[in-house]
Amino acid sequence: MKKSKTKPWHVNLLTLFPEMFPGSLGQSLSGKALGKDVWSYECINIRDFAGGVHKCVDDTPFGGGAGMVMRPDVIEKALLSIKQPGRKIYMSPRGKPLNQALIEDLATTPTLTILCGRYEGVDQRLLDAHNFEEISIGDYVLSGGEPAAIILMDACIRLLDGVMGNKATPDEESFSNGLLEYPHYTRPAQWTDANGQLRTIPEVLISGHHKNIESWRLEQSEILTRERRYDLWKKHMKNRQ
């Protein structure tokens, strides 16, 4: 992943709502990393490139139907104002699903330009003309691409060098080995919940026997994945053959 001493991992954001950034990315580990120039961002306000007194960025769809569509000419002007756009991404529920493998790929791409749509979306010709890669964060519809861009960036930023320190355990966390993560426990070892039920922790975790702990964790990961995500489990079994 990228070194903090070299150029920061950079994201250009084409948006109608620049105030939405850095949002949650300005807090906690990603916020500290932003301060240390591990990553950087620039918002390009699409409205600044609209003409006329009304600064119109959208119009009604050809063929009729509800909602408004963002104009290709205005977005293109905004895009062309970016000196080094790098990899161009359009956040859209129609895009390819975002997963950990794609996040790892994006986190090692030095510069991204993310187009955040609003309304019914953007004119298809703009996406075709500039080869935008469409990415979806899940099978649901947000009111715009900005929260989706923040999610994508958050998942990338935590992988950059110097962000997580020794907190990063990439081999064991969910998805990195194709399985969901095993359960975690901390003190107190004996805890009585609000209903008066005593809850203990699995004995093996205080056995000091590292091999046994490792196999218990793997077993738990496998059980959880089989129960909750049969799609991932099938892939895991296929890879093991």
Which neighbouring-strand residues pair with 44?
Answer: 14
C-alpha distances (whole Å) from 34 to each of 26, 40, 42, 152 are 7, 6, 12, 16
DSSP state of 201: -
Q: Between residues 106 and 163, which has the closer beta carbon with respect to ligand ADE? A: 106
Residue 177 to residues 103, 113, 170, 222, Cα–Cα distance (Å): 14, 29, 9, 11
Q: Where are the beta strands (DSSP E) in 75-110?
A: 87-97
Q: Which stretch binds ligand ADE (CB under 6 A): 10-18, 135-143, 194-202, 209-217?
A: 135-143
Quick one: how many helices (H) and strands (E) in the chain?
Answer: 7, 9
What are the tokens at 17?
Answer: 């709502």
> What is the smallest separation between the CB atom of 183 and ligand ADE, expressed in angstroms?
29
Work out which of 91, 156, 159, 163 binds ligand ADE, going by CB under 6 A. Answer: 91
Neighbours of 220 (CB within 10 A): 16
Helix (H) or strand (E) holding 13: strand 9-15
Q: Is 75 in the site for ligand ADE (CB under 6 A)?
A: no
**Helix 230-240 and helix 210-228, axial crossing angle in degrees, nearest 10:** 120
- As a whole number of angstroms, the distance between CA 34 and CA 25 comes to 8
User: Does the footprint of ligand ADE cover residue 156 (CB under 6 A)?
Assistant: no
Query: Shortest distance, CB of residue 91 to ligand ADE, whole angstroms?
Result: 4
137 lies in the binding site for ligand ADE (CB under 6 A) = yes
Query: By C-beta, is 33 or 146 nearer to ligand ADE?
Result: 146
Stretch that binds ligand ADE, among 5-13, 85-93, 101-109, 123-131 (CB under 6 A): 85-93
Please pick, from the candidates 54, 140, 195, 197, the single residue that binds ligand ADE as defined by CB under 6 A: 140
Nearer to ligand ADE, 8 or 121 (CB): 121
Work out how close the CB of 3 gets to ligand ADE at its nearest, in angstroms, rounded to a whole number.
Answer: 30
Using the rule CB under 6 A, which residue among 30, 92, 113, 225 binds ligand ADE?
92
Residues that bind ligand ADE (CB under 6 A): 91-93, 136-138, 140-142, 145, 148
